[in-house]
Amino acid sequence: MTNVDSIPETALAWHREGRGAVLATVVETWGSAPRRVGAQLVISGDAEIEGSVSGGCVEGAVIVEALEALDAGAARLLEFGVSDDDAFAVGLACGGRIRVMVEPVGKVLPEDMLAALCEARAARRPVAYVVDTEGGARRLDETGHETRFRMDRSGFEEDGRTFVAIHNPPLRLIVVGAVHIAQALVPMARIAGYDPVIVDPRETFGAEARFPGETVSNDWPDEAVQKLGLDTRTALVLLTHDPKIDDPALELALRAPCFYIGALGSPRTHAKRVARMQEAGFLQAEIDRIHGPIGLDIGAAGPSEIAVSILAEITRVLRKGA
């Protein structure tokens, strides 16, 4: 089944099936707009849709415009005001305005460019789709938009005509240590939009009964992490405070671009961890990437509150930087 995270792939499939496809993307918002910038809707030539640009209040008009754009073979920039009544219907307190870019696939958005975008997404490579909305030029960038990639923020550049659509890989959380904190953290992380994986070579800890329905690896952490990979959309959390289990994964993480590394333990335990990493040859700047003791200092007591503090710190780093 298709969902809002597979809109480009759906558009490519419909185009290749000969049905026609148009991508509609929210490029700008004002006030209480229902969807954030970058949200997408795909419309087929026979008016089938997937995704959303407004939560339902302007989709009908976008579909009409998209079908006309498909016939004309030209892009369109649309602007809609969302009334207070419509905004309330989609769960908002007040109205707003949204601007939507409509692009027929093949006629405006080249098929090979869309295919390359989908390939990058499948390979978990962050990619930016850049459009000159006045001149019509389009390109894909995998570098040069570091702040936008980190903040996961699509939008117009300062020139007011260049729109950058950020396509980041899904967020992933690797938890080393199938302990009681992990039992609270994993469901919280899933609600927050992460795809969690639990790693623990101790099968008694990493048992299906303790983590029903979750992905659990009983490999040694270094082996598991190498298989999973550590990229810019991955957070690594170390919860065993056992050097034999934590350190192999930690050393791999310090050499990788994962956006967050956190390790459980007291200040004294963390000081010993730092000393081990220094002995292993890591630079101080690399070691400083470790958040230890893990989590925001909110006075957490008990596994669930510690899990809240960990997820809050991960969120802060994701959205604001280290």
pLDDT tens across 68-85, in order? 999 999 999 998 876 656
- Residues 185, 156, single domain; the answer is no
Q: How far apart are CA 295 and CA 303, in angstroms?
A: 12
Same domain, 257 and 143: no
139, 167, 195 — which closes off a domain? 167
What 3-state DSSP class applies to 47?
coil
Q: Which two tokens stand for residue 265?
A: 């333990």
How many angstroms separate the CA atoms of 290 and 256, rounded?
A: 12
The confidence score (pLDDT) of residue 112 equals 98
**Whole-angstrom Cα distance, residue 195 to residue 215?**
9
Cβ atoms of 133 and 161 closer than 8 Å:
yes
| 27 and 152 share one domain | yes
DSSP state of 105: B
Could you tell me the residue range of the domain that residue 220 belongs to?
172-320
**Quick one: pLDDT at residue 32?**
67
Q: What is the pTM of this model?
A: 0.76
Q: Do 13 and 153 have their domain in common? A: yes
Query: What integer pLDDT is reported at residue 3 of this predicted model?
Result: 44
Q: Are residues 138 and 188 in the same domain?
A: no
CATH code assigned at 206: 3.40.50.720
The answer to whether the bond into 169 is cis (omega within 30° of 0) is: no
Together in a domain, 127 and 189: no
Number of domains in the chain: 2
Q: What pLDDT, on a 0 to 100 scale, did the predictor assign at position 120?
A: 95
Predicted local confidence at residue 215, as pLDDT: 94
From 167, 191, 225, give the residue that closes a domain.
Answer: 167
162 & 24 share domain: yes
Query: Are both 38 and 152 inside the same structural domain?
Result: yes
Q: Could you tell me the mean pLDDT of each successive run of 10 residues in the chain, 322 residues long?
A: 71 97 94 82 95 82 95 94 62 70 97 97 94 96 91 93 94 96 96 94 92 94 94 95 94 96 95 97 97 95 96 93 78
Considering the domain architecture, whether residues 79 and 212 belong to the same structural domain is answered as no
How far is it, in rounded angstroms, from Cα 65 to Cα 44? Answer: 12
Which residues fall within 8 angstroms of residue 243, CB to CB, at 6 or more apart?
273, 276
Residues 65 and 132 in one domain: yes
Indicate the residue among 111, 135, 167 that finishes a domain: 167
Shared-domain flag, residues 180 and 312:
yes
Q: What is the DSSP letter of 109?
A: B
Answer yes or no: do 264 and 205 share one domain.
Answer: yes
Residue 285 pLDDT: 96
